[in-house]
């Protein structure tokens, strides 16, 4: 793995330690206890155990002194543990890591049988997952959100404005243009110029709708803020993305503005509104509260279905570019995305922004992702008939499953970050 990717992953993993105090001291105590535990001691670190004398310490008092002339057994395998207990441990581990295990299973299944989950296939995943499943996700999001949370998210002008500035300002001008310059002027033989143009086109797109909201919700972030920024970004992208492409490529662009707004309202705003209306019923609200874990697992399962569908399409359709150029994108795009996640996480964690943990996570996801659902039809409309159309679309098709996989892979780490104390009280005290 290339150094920027390693740095970015370490940054996201390690930054959450700044919100928790005293864990280092606790780990040192546990380590000292293990050092005095005779079951943990071996001579020379090999398999030839020798007689060992050790003192077991508890609360600074010596409890007992043990001495043995027999080899100390390795307790990593205990024959007294029954099969049912071992199965129970495996089931608990799988339940705790359900999403991560499911993500790898979905990718492997998509690789083995891509035709099963491709759009238009026998299972019609674009209908049952892409339409009904996504609608259910937003319905549950609306049901779980308090109206004051949505109002607060909309009124957070500073956070929302910074997110949109990163999406439509930082990405195209600070990443897209320099990247195209490097790939066309400094190392022109790495990929074709048309593919470098495709990378620039990708940076002008708005954020995702389904992905950033569902990842934020699953991670325990501020779902209201994610919904707010996703809607603002995609509405703004109808105007801003064509203007950016007009500046960079000089193309005359005409888009069906009304149709795109209607689709966004049907896909996001309508199910969220229905969920908000259902909150007025105490029976529905209590039912959701009592079965919240089941509904969260349902959301994770639908998200896994979207991962499976995305990779089935990626493996089944192909991307219309050479293998060596695909390998370059497979190295470049994950590095770019993970670095953006880490950098934006650091940015929104700054004390001067006074963002909660939930807002930090939602802003990180919204600022770092680029939409396929909006971008692919847009590029096909603008550059229809262009011989480089496949190269213009390839980065968008690559980044969609990659950012889904990377976000899903980081979810357990982000969930731990969210569970490590409550920062709201700390922020209020600043």
Mean pLDDT of all residues in 17-31: 46
Whole-number Å distance between alpha carbons of 416 and 359: 16
Give the list of residues 6+ apart from residue 372 with CB closer than 8 angstroms, or none: 208, 396, 397, 399, 400
Whole-number Å distance between alpha carbons of 31 and 54: 15
pLDDT digits (tens, 9 = 90+) for 330-376: 999 999 999 999 999 999 999 999 999 999 999 999 999 998 877 87
Which has more pLDDT, 51 or 262?
Answer: 262
CATH class of 97-421: mainly alpha
Structure tokens at 32: 């000292």
Whole-number Å distance between alpha carbons of 129 and 6: 33
Whether 117 contacts 110, CB under 8 Å = yes
SS3 sequence, 350-382? CHHHCCCHHHHHHHHHHHHCCCHHHHHHHHHHH
Domain boundaries, the chain: 35-69, 97-421
What is residue 55's three-state secondary structure?
Answer: strand
Nearest of 31, 54, 30 to residue 42 by alpha carbon: 54
So what's the pLDDT on residue 170? 97
So what's the pLDDT on residue 319? 58
**Burial class of residue 51 in the structure, from the number of CB atoms within 10 Å of its CB (0-12 exposed, 13-18 middle, 19+ buried):** exposed
Q: In this model, does residue 95 exceed pLDDT 60?
A: yes
Whether 363 contacts 225, CB under 8 Å = yes
So what's the pLDDT on residue 361? 96
E strands within 149-248? Answer: none
Mean pLDDT of all residues in 148-166: 91
């Amino acid at each position: 793995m290339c150094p920027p990717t390693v740095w970015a992953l370490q940054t996201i993993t390690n930054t959450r330690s700044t919100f928790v105090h005293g864990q280092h001291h606790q780990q040192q105590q546990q380590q000292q206890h293990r050092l005095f535990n005779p079951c943990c001691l071996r001579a020379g670190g090999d398999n030839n155990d020798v007689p060992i004398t050790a003192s077991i310490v508890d609360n600074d008092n010596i409890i007992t002194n043990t001495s043995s002339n027999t080899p100390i057994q390795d307790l990593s395998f205990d024959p007294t543990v029954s099969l049912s207990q071992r199965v129970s441990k495996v089931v608990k581990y799988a339940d705790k890591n359900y999403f991560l295990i499911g993500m790898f299973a979905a990718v492997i299944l998509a690789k083995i049988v891509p035709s099963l989950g491709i759009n238009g296939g026998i299972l019609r995943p674009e209908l049952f997952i892409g339409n009904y499943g996504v609608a259910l996700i937003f319905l549950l999001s609306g049901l779980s959100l308090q109206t004051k949370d949505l109002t607060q998210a909309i009124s957070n002008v500073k956070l929302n404005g910074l997110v949109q500035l990163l999406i439509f300002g930082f990405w195209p001008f600070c990443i897209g243009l320099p990247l195209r310059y490097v790939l066309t002027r400094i190392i022109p033989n790495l990929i074709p110029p048309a593919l470098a143009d495709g990378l620039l086109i990708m940076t002008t797109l708005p954020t995702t709708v389904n992905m950033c909201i569902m990842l934020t919700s699953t991670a325990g972030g501020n779902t209201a803020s994610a919904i707010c920024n996703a809607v603002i970004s995609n509405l703004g992208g109808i105007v801003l993305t064509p203007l950016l492409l007009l500046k960079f490529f000089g193309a005359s662009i005409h888009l069906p503005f009304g149709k795109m707004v209607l689709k966004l309202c049907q896909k996001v705003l309508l199910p969220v509104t229905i969920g908000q209306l259902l909150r007025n019923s105490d029976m529905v609200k209590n039912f959701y509260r009592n079965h919240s874990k089941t509904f969260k697992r349902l959301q994770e399962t639908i998200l896994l279905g979207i991962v499976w569908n995305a990779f089935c399409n990626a493996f089944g359709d192909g991307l219309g570019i050479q293998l060596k150029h695909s390998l370059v994108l497979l190295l470049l795009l994950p590095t770019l995305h993970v670095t953006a996640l880490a950098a934006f996480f650091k940015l929104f964690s700054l004390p001067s922004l006074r963002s909660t943990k939930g807002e930090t996570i939602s802003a990180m996801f919204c600022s770092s992702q680029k939409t396929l659902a909006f971008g692919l039809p847009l590029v096909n409309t603008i550059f229809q008939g262009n011989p480089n159309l496949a190269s213009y679309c390839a980065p968008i098709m690559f980044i969609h499953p990659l950012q889904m996989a990377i976000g899903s892979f980081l979810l357990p780490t982000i969930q731990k970050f969210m569970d490590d104390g409550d920062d709201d009280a700390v922020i209020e005290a600043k």
